[in-house]
Copies of this chain bind each other. A is one copy, B any other.
């Protein structure tokens, strides 16, 4: 039973045995969710956070015109409900996109963690920055790129984040696991237009499709079309305090 969150942090910095042990305590409990099952609803009272252990989830906002905006996709190792560190009530809804397993843990565990392991607290600050930058990438995409680019970047994001875990190097083919409506809610488009863009990407030879599987037939061109930047590169955590 490894700790998914320790794996995530471990991909960025060296962890000591005690640090790993402390992080493992965040994932002692476990809860399974079926596709479309909500984990948090906007305005729910908060108190716990979660580590996503397996599956794919999303966080989204429902606007009062009834439309939905997917704010981010969540993958194993991601922290869910971090808003609980600042707010009493959930600012966003979190739903499972596939069968998923989460580990709930109390906010108070972080009280302890930050005092006993300042290095981990600092690493979490750094992790927040990585996620903030990925969020601003999506913001720039929504504001200033074409429909085609936005759809392409969703494909790349899901591929990169699911394959990074299992096989390395990356298979060109993968299961998307999203409906076109969900892609639309992530990109600010309608499902109908997503369909047209997918078709266009296919006709241009950038991707192939069959059933739920997508194949990146011309990955380089797809990355160019999407304005894709890899935010896991170029890291520099040199400022972190030493362990303990």
Which residues of chain A from 126 to 182 have a CB within 8 Å of any chain B CB? 126-133, 135-140, 142-145
Instruction: Report B-chain residues with C-beta under 8 Å of the C-beta of A89.
Output: 234
Known: A144-B67, A231-B91. A86 touches B241 (CB 8 A): no
Determine how many copies of this chain the complex contains: 2
Produce 1/0 per residue, A68-93, CB < 8 A to B: 11011000000000111111110110
Give the residue of B67, B142, B227 whose beta carbon is less than 8 angstroms from that of A139: B142
Are A122 and B135 also in contact (CB < 8 A) when A86-B127, A86-B235, A236-B87 are? no
Contact among B65, B72, B142, B235 with A188 in the assembled complex (CB-CB below 8 Å): B142
Enumerate A221-238 residues with CB–CB distance to B below 8 Å.
227, 229, 231, 234-238
- Within A18-76, the residues touching B (CB, 8 Å) are 46, 61, 63-65, 67-69, 71-72
Which chain B positions have C-beta within 8 A of A111?
122, 239-241
Q: A69-B143, A114-B122 are in contact. Are A87 and B129 (CB under 8 A)?
A: yes
In the bound assembly, the distance between CA atoms of A63 and B140 in angstroms comes to 8
Let me know if A121 is at the binding interface, CB within 8 A: yes
Cβ-based interface call for A110 (8 A): yes
Rounded to whole angstroms, the CA-CA distance of A128 and B22 in the bound complex is: 23
| Cα of A128 to Cα of B129 in the assembled complex, Å | 9
A82-B129, A114-B125 known; A142 vs B145 contact (CB < 8 Å): no
Q: Which residues of A are at the interface with B, using a C-beta cutoff of 8 A?
A: 46, 61, 63-65, 67-69, 71-72, 82-89, 91-92, 107-108, 110-112, 114-115, 118, 121-122, 124-133, 135-140, 142-145, 185, 187-188, 227, 229, 231, 234-241
